[in-house]
Amino acid sequence: MFVDAPAQVAAKLLDWYDVHARALPWRAPPGTARTEPYRVWLSEIMLQQTTVAAVRGYFAKFTERWPTVDTLANADDADVMAAWAGLGYYARARNLIACARAVARDHGGSFPDSEAGLRTLPGIGDYSAAAIAAIAFGRRAVVIDANVERVTSRLFAFADPLPAARPRLRALVDTITPNDRAGDFAQAMMDLGSGICTPRNPQCLICPLRDPCKARVAGNPETYPVKAAKKPKPQRKGTAFWIEHEGDVLLVRRPDKGMLGGMRALPTGPWSDEDPALTDAPVDADWREAGSVTHVFTHFALDLRVVVTKLSARPDISGEWWPIPSVDTAGLPTLFARAAARAIAGSK
């Protein structure tokens, strides 16, 4: 058998998938009816740069509360943003709302069934359009995510550094993508990348592609994919202001663009390499230190100093006064949830 023939790769992988496919809430088992496009779409957006474990609870919550794309399209923005709180990359939530409304308004409540049609919707890029077209609509599409890049670069011992070499890697993925079951093939590649062809210590002994894999033969699968070096993360500092009045705390809504865009938050000063100053506070007050929280984002690390004050008169500041005992229901992103916990602990 010519195990390195492209068709053989797909056949081996699909045979493995028929037995070992992960059972996931948004996935139909191999050989059964396809999952509804709404659920495929919702899961694909949530899974962008996000682990299966993190998505499970959010997917259950969203599908229970908004079971169809129309119900989501009619939801209040603030409710959706609050429900997304903690999952990260909040532009996804803003695009989720915009996409649901575009589907409801421009497509009669049904998702486009082609890759090109899906690609026009907000929040759906090359990967998601291909994945939804293949998984939800049975289209033949070349689906490329980080798992596919890793598995394919190892399979072909493709050593050109990414992301510059993406077009050539895509051509290789194209050669092994089957005409039938492209959706199962994509999901099989992801399962393989998640459980066997892992970034470190890949389990080549039990891999269904161990025979055709050139990197395994060479003995260096963990060196793929080759990537350009990363830049160091700058350290920034800032201050969060916990302002109490009669058992309420002041929350603000952050601008739609930028960090934690559109999310509820504590008022803050600027985040920079300068030492934070109390003069950035939205009100003049007697501030007390409540400690600090450190948080690591994708491209910088933040040391957020938390200061608290209790005002006897309600200041004239725009924002929401939220009952402190239920501040955990405000939908704060993790940074501010931790800052709030620090403020409450530090003000006792």
Partner DNA sequence: CAGCCGTGGTA
Partner DNA sequence: TTACCAAGGCT
Kindly list the residues in this chain that would bind DNA in the complex (CB under 7 A): 24, 26-27, 43-44, 47-54, 85-91, 95, 122-129, 131, 145-147, 150, 163-164, 187, 190-191, 193-194, 199-201, 227, 230-231, 258-261, 295-299, 333-335
Active site residue 64: no
Instruction: State whether the Cα torsion 329-330-332-337 is positive or negative.
Output: negative
Least distance between DNA and beta carbon 258 (Å): 4
- The residue among 37 and 309 lying less far from DNA, judged by its C-beta, is 37
Considering the candidates 44, 115, 244, 246, report the single residue annotated as catalytic.
Answer: 44
In sequence order, which residues have a C-beta less than 8 Å from that of residue 40 and are 6 or more positions away? 26, 131, 132, 135, 136
CB of 28 to DNA, least distance (A): 11
Angle between helices 126-137 and 182-195 (to 10 degrees): 120
CB of 10 to DNA, least distance (A): 17
Q: How far is the CB of 87 from DNA (least distance, A)?
A: 6
Kind of pairing between the strands at 264-265 and 288-296: unpaired
Rounded Cα–Cα distance for residues 49 and 199 (Å) = 15
> What is the secondary structure of 152-193 as a DSSP string?
HHHHTT--SPBTTTHHHHHHHHHHH--SS-HHHHHHHHHHHH
Instruction: Between 87 and 330, name the residue whose CB sits nearer to DNA.
Output: 87
- Phi, psi (rounded to 5 degrees) for 235: -100, 125
Contacts 24+ apart (CB under 8 A), 113-122: 113/37, 113/137, 113/139, 114/139, 115/139, 115/141, 122/95, 122/98
CA distance 213 to 217: 7
CB of 279 to DNA, least distance (A): 24
Which residue intervals of the chain are DSSP H helices? 6-20, 37-46, 52-65, 69-73, 77-84, 91-106, 115-119, 126-137, 146-155, 166-176, 182-195, 214-218, 334-346
Least distance (Å) between residue 336 CB and DNA: 8
Considering the complex, state which of residue 192 and residue 307 has its C-beta at the smaller distance from DNA.
Answer: 192
Pairing mode of beta strands 248-253, 235-245: antiparallel
Q: What does the block give as tokens for 34?
A: 């396809």
Closest approach of Cβ 344 to DNA, in Å? 18
58/156 with CB nearer DNA: 58
Please, which residue, 146 or 311, has the CB nearer to DNA?
146
Residues labelled as active-site residues = 44
